[in-house]
Every structure is written in structure tokens, then in C-alpha cells.
Amino acid sequence: MPLSYEWQRRLDRLKSLAGFSSGSQHGPRPQICPACGALVGISATKCHECGTDLRFSLAALGKKFSGLFGDQEAPVTSALLVANILMFGVSWMAMAAAGGGGGLSILWGLSGIGQLRLGMSIPFPYLIGTHEWWRVVTAMFLHGGLIHIGFNMMALMQFGPAIEELYGSARYLFIYVVTGAFGFLLSSFFGNYSLGASGAILGLVGVMLAITTKRGGSYMRELRSRLVSSVVILFVLGFTHLMAMDNWAHGGGLAAGFLFGKMFADRQPMNVSERKTAYALGLFAGLIVIASFVLMILHYRDPL
């Protein structure tokens, strides 16, 4: 039974890794554009359909990235999940190194010096005084315990894949990072120490609310009603102080997400110009995250 084209490509890749020439038996094969999926020539350097550079492009990197995490539809959501879990492990080790982290503290007690050094958000006067603006980004990858990260990651996996598939991975990453950072910036302005992914997740909820206002039908009305009810309950819990919730971070993320939902067309980029804009936004967000973690590492030992 002959192999499919995709499986033959995988076999050729394995042969090349093992030191065999993939073209010795089958010859050079056409390429598939990572952006639009069109079949292009063997020696082509640009896709004739969408103009994507086949030698190097964000679309090609995204394709490899998605394969790394095994999710072709929502690679950024998968990467965010992994990053949050890794940082939770780092937080626990930092607390253990400081003599804490024992008993049930892992459930909802990962706080203190370790989280400050790892980049939790701090009140605005300290942000201005220390110029540690990277904290509004790193804080969204930190959590206060297993219960905290558990609820947030369940929400991320509930909303993230659908929004990533709708907008595309690049714009989705931009929305996630910017809404989360804006939420922490607002929280900082009102004098809070804060951490968690919920500001960015409320940004995704804000996007979905905006989408339901642009689309008609009973399903959209029902979805909007459920989202509004969930948001109201969340903010009520925050105001009652029954749980350690940061309503300012939640509100900032929600408002920013709603704004992006109104600004962006709720579909994948359709032409070369839209793709370039989307990739530029995604690259900007990715570089901001990387730079923030680099700065966190460089300042980890600074006096607090």
C-alpha cells in the first residue's frame, strides 16, 4: 500500500537524520507553503499563492513550533500551558530553597520572596522606581498554588484553542500577552502585588464577548449571557474577598480583550498584507515575553 505524501515526507526526514539521502530513491519533492498550504515548486523561494518566504518566515517557524507540542490547531495555547506549568515548578523550587514550600502550602501558599524575584507584579511606585516593567509580563506566568494554576489552566484550555483557531496563532499570542500585561499594569497602578494568568484569560473572555456582539443568532446570545454571568460571579467573589482575586487585573484584561475583539476581524488573516501584520504582532509579543524573562533572570539577585 503506497504511503501518503505527508508520511513519505516524514520518512524522508528520518532518513536524512540517519545520514541517508532522501532524494536518492524518490528525487526532490515539491514543497508545501506553511502559511496557506499551497503546493509550490521544488526550487521555489516564495509561495505563488500568498507570497510567504519559504526559506525563512514566521509561518514556517510556527509550523515547526506546533509540531513540537503536537497540536497543529492551537500550538500557542499548548506552549502557554507548558510555560505556566514550568514556571510553577520553578516557583516551588525557589520557595523550597528559601526553606518553605512544605505541607499543604503548595495548594495555595506559593508566595513571598521567591515570587518577587521571579517577577510578580508590584505596586506602581515601585515599578517607576525600579524600572522593572517586565514584571507585568512575567507575572502572568506565575501562580500562588496548585488550586490557582489548576483553575487558570482549565480556563485557558477552555477558551484558548477556539480563539487561536479563529484569529490565528500570531494574533492570538499578541492578544494574550497585551491583555495580560495591561491587566497587571492597571492592578499595579492601584497598588497591588499580583500574579496569575487570569488577567490574560479574562482578556480572552473579553474577545469572546466582543465576538458575540458582532454576530447574531440565538447561540451567540446564549453564549454572551453565560459569559456575562460568569464574569459577574467572578467579580463579586473578588469584591467579597472570599478568595484572593485581583479585580483590577481581571477588569483590565477583560476591557483590553473586548477592545481587541472589536478591532480585529474575527477570522484568520486572508491576504499577504493581513498575514504580515499578524506575524509582526505575534513576533512583537513573543519578543516581549522573551525579553521580560531575560530581564527577570538578570535581576533575580538584585536587592529587594
pLDDT means over runs of 10, the chain (304 residues): 53 48 48 66 70 60 53 83 94 80 70 88 92 96 93 94 93 97 96 94 96 89 92 89 85 97 91 91 96 95 84
Q: 56: left (phi > 0), else alpha (psi -120 to 50), else beta?
A: beta
CB atoms within 10 A of CB 41: 12
Identity of the amino acid at 252: G
Active-site residue, 91 included: no
Active-site residue, 198 included: yes
Q: What integer pLDDT is reported at residue 6 of this predicted model?
A: 53
Q: What integer pLDDT is reported at residue 73 of this predicted model?
A: 73
Q: What integer pLDDT is reported at residue 110 of this predicted model?
A: 78
Residue 273 buriedness (CB in 10 A; 0-12 / 13-18 / 19+):
exposed
Q: What integer pLDDT is reported at residue 43 of this predicted model?
A: 73
Q: Where are the beta strands (DSSP E) in the chain?
A: 31-32, 39-40
Nearest alpha carbon to residue 127 among 179, 189, 182? 189
- Choice among 188, 194, 198, 292 that is catalytic: 198
Distance of alpha carbon 247 from alpha carbon 187, whole angstroms: 8
Q: What integer pLDDT is reported at residue 303 of this predicted model?
A: 84
Q: What integer pLDDT is reported at residue 133 of this predicted model?
A: 94
Distance of alpha carbon 180 from alpha carbon 119, whole angstroms: 14
What residue ranges do the domains of the chain occupy? 5-32, 71-298
Q: Which CATH architecture has domain 71-298?
A: Up-down Bundle (1.20)
Which secondary-structure segment (H or E) carries 213?
helix 198-214
Q: What integer pLDDT is reported at residue 19 of this predicted model?
A: 42
Q: What integer pLDDT is reported at residue 20 of this predicted model?
A: 38
- Choice among 21, 250, 273, 299 that is catalytic: 250
Distance of alpha carbon 189 from alpha carbon 254, whole angstroms: 16
What would the grid cell of residue 237 be?
467573589
